[in-house]
Structure 1
């Protein structure tokens, strides 16, 4: 019976993955607008999140154990000296999916580092598909916006090449961090709405007494607790993140607006708390 049930579920999951990949291909198309790109990405995130929660609810109804907690090592580029900013942005997005993160090799300006993400198998499956696409869009948006910012400065102020390079670096890093924060914020809001939805096909107790949490609320809360326990077991001596040192007000505002402005198919903006503490953060 278990084998048959698994076989019946696999085609549905494969169909969902194909839809997600199609949405991300459209999101990465240079011909689409920034708003359209974000909308496609958000719809992909919504599909994967809903599918994961539906599967978790179904497992609970069948009396099966909750899905396991695992680990994903995601490479993060250090090109341009912006590696720490990228780690900060992507860790925040991972946290919005209920994951915890640490980083390895976050000490040298231009070298690649590894973002270590601990989460449920479904959450990691989502991030494995979504993070490369989100990174591509984030970098393209940062390059475009930073280029325009520097062009405007050249017209308004007589700055030398060194001053302009420093200005671009500060703008770019703040843009990336704020973009990641805005995307994570919208994801958290979407997941919060899911927590308020009743379990599919669920009914009230009818006793007039306050009922226990059910459905997505119970699934998400349980997952977060299990992920925290597993993360602390894996990284018992993890150092807290150091305070941010680089901040550019215009860059942060532009990045946040880019990450929040589009209609993303989640009926809200993307975002999320719960980012893991990363050693050697900016």
Structure 2
């Protein structure tokens, strides 16, 4: 009888490395049959899965990226299996970056919730389990190298002091939670506008603190999932949030995520605000769509696409205006000598040069990470009523410094977004 490694090698040769188009899919059945007939190979099979994950980490992937891709391209059993493998594989690392740790914690929590819901055990059908494992591994082994956005687990990593979350971020979270929980659109958008104002102040404070302390901060990067449907509108919303918070984003449509480049405090608020605005925009769209259906209208898809595109476009204008106003106010206060404003050697204000230097650093990091990005014209806005309702939903936001005399925008607007070639 073959040893466990030999059984797994034979199954992989048939199912993972053979051309499925050439064998009509028979290789998968052959591999699953070999594994199902040899229970002693189970431990070796799971160990190989952990090796595939380790290889994915070395190619730039992170746990949330892998789970998102598996959930999109395969089925629930594959998602549950990859979550189990990730949580098991993660035990080997004593220290990982905070963002990595947060992803593992969330994956483990979702897995525990599934178990609590009474999900059927794998042992119910050995052939089905083996088929699921081989289908998952076939995806993992084909993952290409992508741009790294953090250290590979096991490498030296600087962990911030465990002194809790900054009070400003706590306030921002509370504002966004209220915005998501209210049934009144005007209140939700006013709360979001206030959150953006606080975010801009938080960014300025962090920039000046880093400059005074000579910390030598450098831009970082993170990936944020952008799921179908209406992913183009969602990408525009994320890009608007990133731009308003001194970050840059690049969309990889093939893998369903955008990479956001910026300084770490700004990345945190981009993730917070984008998630909240997406929740609020979807809720506003659902309410508007219900009213449309009540009047006999049936063009659901085009209405939703146009609504979200208009919402993203207008929200972007207002977020940028809020951030610019806060920066102008801070620069004005510095020029007037208010507070403990930092001055340059020639007596000029320090704020604007510091922010300009950080903007240049972010642009340089994004250019080095994505030297061959292209810009793509956004299309698909064909529903005038959807555009009008989406713009109105964003227009209700009371954003400080955003003049009310601006136009609504039009369906021929040409927002261009950076796109990774081949994505």
Short-chain TM bin? 0.7 to 0.9
| CA spacing shift, 1:204–1:52, aligned 2, 3 Å | closer
Check the 8 A contact 1:101/1:275 in 2, yes or no. no
Check the 8 A contact 1:93/1:275 in 2, yes or no. no
Check the 8 A contact 1:185/1:269 in 2, yes or no. no
| Equivalent of residue 235 in structure 2, options 87, 90, 104 | 87
Check the 8 A contact 1:172/1:251 in 2, yes or no. yes
Paired residues for 1:232-243 under 5 Å: 232-243=367-378
CA offsets 1:223-257 (integer angstroms, 9 cap, x no match): 22211111111111112213413332222222122
Q: 1:170 and 1:72 mapped to 2: Cα distance?
A: 31
Paired residues for 1:49-60 under 5 Å: 49-60=200-211
Q: Which residue of 1 aligns with 2:364?
A: 229
Check the 8 A contact 2:246/2:266 in 1, yes or no. yes
TM-superposed CA distance for 1:114, in Å, is 0.8
- Point out where structure 1 has 5 or more consecutive residues left out of the alignment: 1-5, 155-163
Q: SS state of the match for residue 202, structure 1?
A: coil
Paired residues for 1:98-117 under 5 Å: 98-104=246-252, 106=253, 113-117=256-260
TM-superposed CA distance for 1:64, in Å, is 3.5
Q: 1:113 and 1:203 mapped to 2: Cα distance?
A: 42
Tell me if 1:28 matches 2:163: no
Deviates more, 1:118-127 or 1:43-52: 43-52
Check the 8 A contact 2:309/2:381 in 1, yes or no. no
Instruction: Let me know the Cα RMSD of the aligned residues.
Output: 3.1
Q: SS state of the match for residue 103, structure 1?
A: strand
Bigger relative contact order (CA 8 A; separation at least 6):
1
| Equivalent of residue 128 in structure 1, options 271, 275, 296 | 271
Q: Which residue of 2 aligns with 1:181?
A: 313
Check the 8 A contact 2:381/2:387 in 1, yes or no. no
Check the 8 A contact 1:242/1:279 in 2, yes or no. no
CA offsets 1:109-145 (integer angstroms, 9 cap, x no match): xxx7112111111110111222211110011111211
Q: Which residue of 2 aligns with 1:278?
A: 419
Q: 2:378 and 2:397 mapped to 1: Cα distance?
A: 30
TM-superposed CA distance for 1:213, in Å, is 5.1
| Equivalent of residue 166 in structure 2, options 2, 6, 14 | 14
TM-superposed CA distance for 1:42, in Å, is 2.0
Check the 8 A contact 1:262/1:269 in 2, yes or no. no
Check the 8 A contact 1:261/1:269 in 2, yes or no. no
Tell me if 1:214 matches 2:350: yes
Q: 1:225 and 1:203 mapped to 2: Cα distance?
A: 20
| CA spacing shift, 1:73–1:149, aligned 2, 3 Å | same
Q: 2:241 and 2:172 mapped to 1: Cα distance?
A: 17
Aligned residue pairs: how many?
Answer: 246
CA offsets 1:48-67 (integer angstroms, 9 cap, x no match): 221221121122233332x3
Q: TM-score, normalised by structure 2?
A: 0.52
Q: TM-score, normalised by structure 1?
A: 0.76
